[in-house]
């Protein structure tokens, strides 16, 4: 490749999404929040790969038992149900068509209603357990469902429930007049069918058909009108407005665009020989929208409700004239006939079999038509999985007294123990299931069930509460009369931790289970904890953070494996799985179901879009664009860029090379390096250490231990993991292999938040006297592209052909490297930040230095000498600086700065300059990880590049920090972002501006030497001697702090600088929320004339207002003002983004006194595919549109990264103007890559216009992903 070829780069605009639980080890907790950095991308490319939620309904008659089993009514307790607990009711109509209707408000203290029915009391007295599930999921079973009226009906009970002491106990209350129209001293309440009976005495021999005295106060249908116009506005948790009125809704409606739903159930056949369960409703979108074959949103022809919110009777056009997930969930059992003898293990296995893309077990559908119970049974299955990254969940509801569920692959047991004898279990043996010709994919339920038993009954694997009675689960009987098995737990553990589907080995299933609490009292005891439902949730739903398949061990703060219940317990010490719920606690169950959906939606996997980093194109240009796929394989593509005079800048769809393919095909040894600390056995950090090869022989004991998932693993296993990480592939679970490690399609890991940085010859603009020799020696060096990846490495690729020159594995990420090898791997970040590369004098020698954070992968920085990238060795590893060295260091998400600073004077009184890495401390310095500062200050670090490798880090000797206390009133997380530098013409940095998460914009004075690099010396003394105040704090109109997460930019303004920045955060799953009261974000221009006064608040700024016009852009309006800080003047400007959730979280691009940027607008889809961007071009001095009166038009390419300015041509007007000047016109294109552009030709050319190079404000921005972008742009009037 020609040395004169120029390059531009594209960086992922995707920020992280699927969170994992933090591993906390510190004893002192911070009072300030931390950022739960997303462990997987928060938004995706042009795909909607939403999760599947399969309802596995083991419904027999106990499932419709009482929701509230206690016989004691507590007036001050709120009982959730179809009735509004805060209302009083009258009954309207007769015995065949009546219903309850709201009459007024109940007493708020005790829910009493004089002369009327208390809604709270009616829920306690009449609600069924299945009603709670329906209430939570669908809003309830509608017996009347029109555009103008909705009446819900309690589940139809078996007649035997009348006056029952078990499934629906008779209830009494001795203050009837306070909650009913009745005046009897003691009120008896009994239920059966769809009725409730009120009586004032008992009668022997009464029945549902002849209730006798039990009905002498009245017989009522348990039906209630809901969500009429008067109730809906106050009952917002249930009622949603549709076209003509309100309708009750549940989580299925609320998440219709984000989750696909399906349902399994039983045939209504109570024979003890009936196998398994059947598919009642296939997985699909239930709402008005679906996705088409290209994963674009489309109208749903199988929607389950219309525009009025009325349920559609037969959305699947079934011959039974009724179908759909919601209809089945709501209406099964309306006849009052329920199945008995529930083979829950077989039902659950069939649901997993469906997710495998297989066909039903023949015995499940044998003679199915005779037992349909009025609903469809699907005997031919269509594969429900859309992609291997799709998340899959099963929500099982059942009682624990199960029956006859042995006929699962691997079963050899055909009898059960009864009366000391083995009796036929009505189940046959079934061979282990060889679902592929490779034995590792076979399934033997007894082996997996016994694996659960081994973990549950022994403390050797970390279980702090082993139950020895569960030591032989594979051979144990359970359920009613010992007829059932624990096989459900074995199937759940297998599907959750292992590649149960060979064509998609990463696929997993997470199980939630609801125990309907048959004959229980709502409490959790040994009976529940020893049940298959409890164990299925525990072993089928734990958060396997370290990928070891063991819920009792996880990674500690040091990276060592520690014993912990954090992966499975709902709360510390509860001994209750997070995924298990008891229907006898309805309020807790409903709240938990809401959490289930929040977890499901947050964890939904989608792929990120591609965006360009700022750069310039010439006649022969490449673009480097990174990315990843559903299996977490990485990509770095080189694409040709051309300039078409008619259509503007074009990006080729044909790759010149793709680094992942080149690396995977590599046959020569790789040059892999790391940092090996010295001085401490646990690598806790002193800063001393040395570069080393990434080989077993070079690692210290702590690093070797980190490569073991369990302490008992041998060195041989750990060495195998190291070989895997180095690229050796024989241990992968590939076709025909006996390997045990995760299968990879590419040796390059996914690239999410790291942008590529290109570096060819050293900078030609440095004028230091001793620099020319270095420049000459390296001017023909190999051009390289540097990028971090979530395979644990910083990679350097040859820019000419994509071959890897070297890779570096930071010691700071060692704690989690072993997870990358696990077949159960759950995505997390590793080296997930963009590096900075620049020339610096290190000691007495010039070098090209790379400094990088690790994003969410680890807290700290590392530095490498990349002067000759083709010859990098262990001596080129300069250092690592982490939170172990200074607890104020956090997760550095942005590129550090490489800066030249005044460092004092020599013996001749001449100034001495040195080069340093400079960075904000980033996120979560207060995270209790064993090396944290609970005070959570914002900190600017200045770190010496020339610290010798073997020398410890010492504050004030080889690193300095400027610390600003957190604003306790902000009540939000804190941490400093990347600084914008103010440089002199010789490259010396004299000042900087940076923002923090609490909305504070700080100014730093950096020209005083090391003794001033502290708060007292570097922070201006605003307000009469107080150096702890920021230049400005961004708050919205209500006073809420607006977080600053992106590097500010500055431009020259009369007598000073205009510092421009936006606010917003997109770092954690909570940042995807689009409902409720959100912080309104804004753009600011803050004028700094170097005075002694800070800017108190936005009242000192000139407001700019934005109004969306018919074309989708914003019309701007503003009044004129005088710029300054005196009375009557305005110290800058601001404008609020009009939309809730719109924010500025990608780089600002300044040039010619203008600022280009793209905002982010999160959509309702928490997977992110429905999000968008606004495209802005503003005048940096006024905040008004750079041209015309409008800007901020909506992207047609989805979410956009930072815009790119590219010079396309230069023209010179030969005619001089009146004062003899010649005008030079320089034409630029401004374009961005969008999420729907696929990272190739998706660039949206926004403008191609001449810009005059003179008489414009000159920006002070600097590159965020490498020198080339801004230094090249500076050639046509940009950065200083």
Q: Which of 232, 265, 282 is the last residue of a domain?
A: 232
Tokens of 1173: 């961007």
* Alpha helix (H) residue ranges in 37-188: 119-126, 129-137
Which of 239, 198, 203 has the alpha carbon at shortest distance from 222? Answer: 198
Q: How many helices (H) and strands (E) does the chain have?
A: 19, 65
Rg (the chain; Cα; Å) = 33
- Mean pLDDT computed over 598-615: 39
**How confident is residue 15, by pLDDT bands cut at 50, 70 and 90?**
very low
**557, 23 Cβ separation under 8 angstroms:** yes
* Residue recorded with tokens 């005495």: 201
- Is residue 146 in some structural domain? yes
Give the dihedral of Cα atoms 840, 846, 847, 849; nearest 10 deg: -10
DSSP state of 139: S
Q: Which of 547, 573, 603 is the last residue of a domain?
A: 603
Q: Pick the more confident residue, 964 or 389.
A: 964
The answer to whether residue 930 is domain-embedded is yes
pLDDT greater at residue 1262 or residue 675: 675
Q: How confident is the model at residue 629 (pLDDT cuts 50, 70, 90)?
A: low
Which letter, b or e, does each residue of 544-553 get, where b requires 16 or more Cβ atoms within 10 Å of its Cβ? bbbbbbbbbb
The answer on 189 and 100 residing in a single domain is yes
Q: Report the candidate in 625, 611, 618 with the shortest Cα–Cα distance to residue 642.
A: 618
Is 1 a domain residue?
A: no
Q: What is the DSSP string of 1212-1246?
A: E--S--TTSPPPEEEEEEEEEEBGGGTTSS-EEEE
Q: What distance in Å separates the CA atoms of residue 803 and residue 1248, rounded to the nearest whole number? A: 36
Stretch 1036-1047: mean pLDDT: 93
DSSP letter assigned to residue 233: T
- DSSP E strand boundaries for 597-699: 610-612, 621-628, 634-644, 648-658, 672-677, 689-693
Name the token pair of 205.
Answer: 């021999």
Q: What is the pLDDT of residue 817?
A: 96
CB 973 within 8 A of CB 997: yes
Neighbours of 983 (CB within 10 A): 17
- Whether 179 contacts 111, CB under 8 Å: yes
The per-residue pLDDT for range 561-584, each reduced to its tens digit, is 889 998 999 888 999 999 998 877
Among 349, 384, 382, which residue's Cα sits nearest to residue 363? 349
Question: pLDDT by residue (tens digit) across 379-400?
Answer: 999 999 987 778 899 999 888 8
702 closest CA partner among 778, 820, 815: 815
**Strands of the 1149-1151 sheet, one edge to the other:** 1149-1151, 1154-1158, 1174-1179, 1193-1194
Whether residue 228 sits in one domain with residue 295: no
Do residues 203 and 332 share a domain? no
Which tens digit of pLDDT belongs to each residue from 761-771?
999 999 888 99
Choosing from 547, 569, 603, the residue where a domain stops is 603
Neighbours of 1118 (CB within 10 A): 14
Question: 492-523 pLDDT, tens per residue?
Answer: 999 999 888 888 877 899 999 988 777 667 78
Q: Is 273 helix (H, G, I), strand (E, B) or coil?
A: coil
- The pTM (predicted TM-score) of the whole model is 0.60
Shared domain check, 465 and 402: yes
| Exposed/middle/buried for residue 204 (C-beta within 10 Å: 0-12, 13-18, 19+) | exposed
Answer yes or no: is pLDDT of 1139 > 50. yes
Q: Can you read off the two tokens belonging to residue 199?
A: 């009586």
According to DSSP, the residues that pair with 54 across neighbouring strands are: 262, 394
Q: Are the beta carbons of 394 and 352 closer than 8 angstroms?
A: yes
Q: Please give the distance of CA 649 from its chain centroid, rounded to a whole number.
A: 34
- Is residue 998 over pLDDT 50? yes
What is the SS3 assignment for 331? helix
**Confidence check: pLDDT of 889 > 60:** yes
47 domain residue, yes or no? no
- Per DSSP bridges, beta strands 52-57 and 260-265 are parallel
- Position 557 scores a pLDDT of 56
Extract the tokens encoding 568: 């499975």
Q: How many residues does the chain have?
A: 1280
Looking at residue 1024, its pLDDT comes to: 60
987 bridge partner residues: none
Cα Dmax for the chain? 115
325 and 265 Cβ atoms separated by less than 8 Å:
no
Residue 1217 lies in a domain: yes
Number of domains in the chain: 3
- Separation between Cα atoms, residue 718 and residue 103, nearest integer Å: 70
Q: Is the domain of 629 the same as that of 513? A: no
Task: Report residue 226 as tokens.
Answer: 């809901």
Please tell me the predicted confidence (pLDDT) of residue 421.
Answer: 64
Lowest mean pLDDT, pick from 106-115, 199-208, 1246-1255: 1246-1255
Same domain, 1108 and 1126: yes
Contact indicator for 924, 37 with CB cutoff of 8 Å: yes
Structural domain of 223: 73-126+141-232
Same domain, 570 and 656: no
Closest to 487 (Cα-Cα) out of 577, 555, 427, 557: 427
Residue-wise pLDDT tens digits, 392-431: 999 998 888 888 889 999 999 888 776 666 667 778 899 8
CA dihedral 454, 458, 461, 462 (to 10 degrees): 140
pLDDT tens digits, one per residue of 179-220: 999 998 899 999 999 999 999 999 888 999 999 999 989 999
**Chain-wide mean pLDDT for the chain?**
84
Element (H, E) at 705: helix 701-706
The predicted pLDDT at position 440 comes to: 55
Both 206 and 267 in one domain: the answer is no
Give the helix, strand, coil percentages of the chain, each rounded to 5. Answer: 15, 30, 55
Are 464 and 575 in contact, with CB atoms under 8 Å apart?
Answer: no
Taking CA atoms, 1228 is separated from 1028, 1153, 1209, in Å, by 42, 15, 7
Q: Which residues, other chains included, contact 1092 with Cβ-Cβ below 8 Å and sequence gap of 6+?
A: 1020, 1021, 1022, 1023, 1024
> What CA–CA distances, in Å, run from 1165 to 135, 222, 407, 1198?
23, 37, 40, 13
Residue 929, SS3? coil
Instruction: Choose among 139, 66, 141: nearest CA to 99.
Output: 141
643 with 565, same domain: the answer is: no
> Based on the domain organization, do 353 and 496 belong to the same domain?
yes
pLDDT in tens, 704-755: 999 998 778 899 999 999 999 999 998 887 644 567 788 888 999 988 888 8
Residue 1098 placed within a domain: yes
Q: For position 1004, what pLDDT does the model report?
A: 96
Q: Is residue 132 part of a domain?
A: no
Give the side-chain half-sphere CA count within 13 A for 381. Answer: 27
Identify whether residues 169 and 271 lie together within a single domain: no
Residue 133 lies in a domain: no
Q: What element of type H or E holds 840?
A: strand 836-842
Measured CA to CA, the distance from residue 550 to residue 567 in angstroms comes to: 9
- CA atoms lying within 13 Å on the CB side of residue 25: 15
Of residues 209, 221, 34, 29, the one with CA closest to residue 144: 221
Please name the residue that has the structure tokens 């389950």: 304
- Torsion angles phi and psi, residue 891, rounded to 5: -80, 110
pLDDT at residue 1240 above 50? Answer: no
The secondary structure of 419-487, three-state, reads CCEEEECCCCCCCCEECCCCHHHEECHHHHHHHHHHHHHCCCCCCCCCCHHHCCHHHCCECHHHCECCH
User: What is the distance between the terminal CA atoms of the chain, rounded to a whole angstrom?
Assistant: 30
List of residues 6+ apart from 525 with CB closer than 8 A: none
Q: What is the pLDDT of residues 1024-1041, one digit of tens each?
A: 666 788 999 999 999 999
Q: Per-residue b/e over 600-610, b at no fewer than 16 CB within 10 Å?
A: bbbbbbbbbbb
810 and 891 both lie in a single domain: yes
Decide if 1034 contacts 980 (C-beta within 8 A): no
Phi, psi of 454 (to 5 degrees): -65, -40
CA-closest candidate to residue 1230, choices 1186, 1182, 1170, 1190: 1186
pLDDT at 627 over 70: yes
């Amino acid at each position: 490749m020609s040395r004169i070829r120029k390059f531009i780069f594209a960086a992922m605009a995707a920020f992280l999404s699927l969170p994992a639980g933090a591993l906390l080890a510190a004893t002192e907790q911070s009072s300030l929040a931390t950022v739960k950095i997303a462990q997987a991308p928060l938004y995706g490319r042009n795909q909607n790969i939403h999760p599947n939620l399969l309802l596995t309904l083991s419904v027999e008659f106990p499932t419709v038992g009482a929701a509230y089993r206690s016989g004691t009514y507590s007036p001050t307790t709120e009982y959730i149900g179809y009735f509004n607990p805060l209302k009083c009711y009258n009954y309207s109509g007769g015995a065949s068509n009546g219903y309850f209707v709201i009459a007024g408000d109940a007493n708020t203290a005790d829910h009493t209603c004089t002369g009327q029915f208390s809604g709270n009391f009616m829920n306690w007295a009449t609600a069924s357990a299945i009603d709670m599930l329906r209430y939570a999921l669908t809003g309830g079973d509608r017996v009347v469902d029109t555009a103008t009226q909705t009446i819900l009906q309690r589940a139809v009970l078996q007649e035997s429930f009348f006056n029952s002491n078990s499934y629906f106990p008779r209830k009494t209350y001795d203050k009837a007049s306070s909650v009913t129209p009745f005046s009897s001293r003691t009120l008896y309440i009994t239920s059966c069918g769809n009725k409730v009976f009120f009586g004032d005495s008992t009668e022997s021999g009464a029945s549902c058909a002849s209730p006798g005295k039990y009905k002498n106060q009245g017989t009522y249908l348990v039906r209630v009108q809901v969500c009429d116009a008067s109730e809906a506005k106050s009952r917002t948790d249930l009622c949603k407005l549709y076209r003509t009125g309100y309708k009750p809704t549940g989580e299925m409606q609320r998440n219709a665009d984000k989750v696909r739903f399906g349902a399994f159930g039983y045939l209504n056949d109570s024979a003890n020989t009936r196998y398994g369960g059947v598919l009642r409703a296939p997985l699909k979108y239930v709402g008005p929208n679906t996705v088409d074959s290209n994963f674009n949103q489309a109208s749903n022809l199988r929607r389950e409700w219309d525009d009025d919110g009325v349920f559609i009777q037969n959305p699947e056009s079934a011959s039974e004239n009724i179908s759909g997930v919601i209809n089945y969930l709501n209406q099964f059992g309306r006849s009052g006939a329920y199945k008995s003898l529930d083979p829950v293990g077989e039902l659950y296995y069939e649901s997993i079999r469906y997710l495998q893309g297989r066909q039903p077990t023949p015995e499940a559908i044998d003679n199915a038509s005779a037992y349909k119970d009025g609903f469809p049974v699907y005997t031919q299955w269509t594969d429900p999985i859309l992609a291997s990254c799709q998340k899959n969940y099963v929500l099982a509801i059942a009682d624990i007294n199960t029956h006859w569920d042995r006929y699962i692959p691997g079963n050899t047991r055909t009898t059960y123990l009864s009366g000391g004898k083995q009796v036929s279990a009505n189940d046959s043996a079934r061979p282990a299931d060889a679902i592929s010709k490779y034995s590792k994919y076979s399934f033997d339920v007894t082996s997996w069930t016994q694996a659960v038993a081994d973990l549950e009954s022994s403390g050797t694997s970390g279980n702090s509460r082993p139950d020895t009675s569960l030591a032989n689960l594979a051979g144990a009987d359970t359920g009613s009369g010992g007829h059932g098995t624990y096989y459900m737990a074995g199937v759940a553990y297998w599907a959750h931790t292992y590649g149960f589907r060979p064509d998609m080995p990463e696929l997993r299933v997470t199980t939630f289970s609801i125990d309907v609490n048959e004959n229980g009292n709502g409490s959790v005891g040994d009976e529940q904890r020893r049940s298959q439902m409890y164990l299925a949730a525990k072993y089928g739903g734990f958060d396997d953070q370290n990928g070891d398949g063991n819920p009792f061990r996880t990674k500690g703060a040091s990276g060592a494996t520690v014993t912990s219940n954090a992966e499975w317990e709902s709360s510390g010490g509860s001994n209750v799985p997070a995924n298990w719920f008891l229907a006898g606690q309805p309020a807790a169950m409903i709240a938990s179901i809401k959490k289930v959906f929040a977890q499901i939606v947050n964890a939904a996997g989608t792929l990120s879009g591609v965006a360009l980093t700022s750069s310039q194109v010439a006649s022969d240009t490449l673009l480097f664009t990174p990315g990843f796929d559903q299996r977490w394989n990485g990509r770095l593509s080189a694409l040709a860029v051309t300039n078409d005079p008619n259509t503007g800048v074009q990006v080729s769809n044909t790759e010149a090379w793709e680094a992942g393919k080149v690396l995977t095909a590599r046959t020569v040894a790789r040059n892999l390096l790391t940092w090996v600390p010295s001085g401490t056995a646990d690598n806790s950090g002193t800063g001393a250490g040395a570069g080393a090869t990434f080989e077993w022989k070079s690692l210290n004991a702590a690093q070797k231990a980190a490569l073991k998932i369990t302490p008992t693993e041998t060195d041989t296993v750990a060495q195998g993991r190291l070989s895997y990480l180095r690229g050796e592939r024989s241990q992968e679970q590939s076709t025909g292999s006996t390997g045990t490690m995760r299968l990879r399609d590419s040796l390059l890991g996914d690239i999410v938040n790291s942008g590529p940085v290109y570096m060819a010859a050293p900078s030609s603009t440095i004028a230091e006297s001793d620099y020319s020799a270095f420049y000459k020696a390296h001017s023909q060096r190999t051009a390289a592209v540097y990028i971090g990846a979530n395979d644990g490495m910083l990679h350097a690729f040859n820019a000419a052909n994509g071959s890897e020159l070297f890779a570096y594995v930071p010691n700071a990420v060692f704690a989690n490297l072993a997870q990358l090898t696990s077949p159960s791997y759950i995505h997390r970040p590793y080296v997930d930040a963009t590096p900075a590369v620049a020339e610096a004098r290190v000691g007495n020698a010039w070098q090209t230095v790379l400094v990088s954070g690790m994003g969410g992968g680890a807290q700290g920085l590392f530095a490498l000498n990349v002067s000759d990238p083709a010859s990098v060795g262990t001596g080129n590893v300069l250092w690592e600086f982490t939170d172990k060295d200074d607890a104020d260091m956090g997760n550095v998400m942005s590129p550090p700065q490489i800066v030249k600073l005044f460092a004092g004077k020599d013996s001749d009184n001449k100034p001495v300059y040195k080069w340093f890495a400079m960075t904000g401390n980033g996120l979560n310095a207060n995270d209790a990880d064993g090396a944290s500062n609970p005070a959570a200050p914002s900190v600017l670090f200045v770190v010496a590049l020339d610290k010798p490798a073997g020398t410890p880090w010492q504050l004030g000797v080889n690193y300095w920090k400027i610390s600003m206390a957190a604003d306790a009133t902000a009540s939000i997380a804190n941490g400093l972002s990347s600084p914008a530098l103010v440089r002199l013409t010789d490259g010396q940095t004299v000042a900087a501006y940076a923002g923090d998460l609490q909305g504070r914009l700080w100014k730093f004075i950096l020209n005083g030497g090391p003794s001033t690099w502290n708060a007292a010396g570097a922070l201006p003394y605003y307000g009469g001697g107080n150096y702890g105040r920021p230049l400005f704090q961004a708050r919205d109109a209500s006073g809420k702090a607006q977080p600053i997460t992106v590097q500010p930019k500055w431009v020259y303004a009369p007598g000073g600088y205009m510092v421009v920045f936006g606010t917003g955060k997109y770092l954690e799953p909570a940042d995807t929320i689009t409902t409720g009261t959100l912080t309104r974000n804004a753009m600011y221009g803050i004028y700094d004339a170097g005075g002694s006064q800070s800017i108190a608040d936005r009242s000192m700024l000139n407001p700019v207002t934005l109004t969306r016009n018919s074309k989708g852009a914003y019309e701007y309006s503003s009044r004129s003002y005088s710029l300054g800080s005196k009375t009557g003047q305005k110290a800058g400007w601001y404008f609020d983004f009009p939309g809730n959730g719109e924010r500025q979280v990608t780089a600002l691009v300044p040039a010619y006194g203008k600022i280009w940027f793209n905002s982010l607008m999160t959509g309702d889809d928490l997977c992110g595919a429905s999000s968008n961007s606004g495209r802005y071009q503003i005048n940096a001095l006024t905040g008004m549109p750079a041209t015309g009166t409008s800007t901020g038009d909506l992207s047609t390419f989805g979410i956009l990264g930072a815009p790119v300015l590219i010079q396309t041509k230069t023209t010179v007007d030969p005619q001089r103007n009146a004062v003899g000047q010649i005008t030079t016109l320089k034409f630029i294109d401004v374009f961005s890559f969008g999420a729907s552009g696929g990272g190739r030709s998706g660039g949206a050319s926004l403008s191609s216009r001449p810009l005059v190079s003179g008489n414009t404000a000159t920006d002070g921005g600097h590159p965020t992903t490498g020198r080339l972008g801004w230094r090249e742009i500076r050639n046509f009037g940009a950065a200083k």
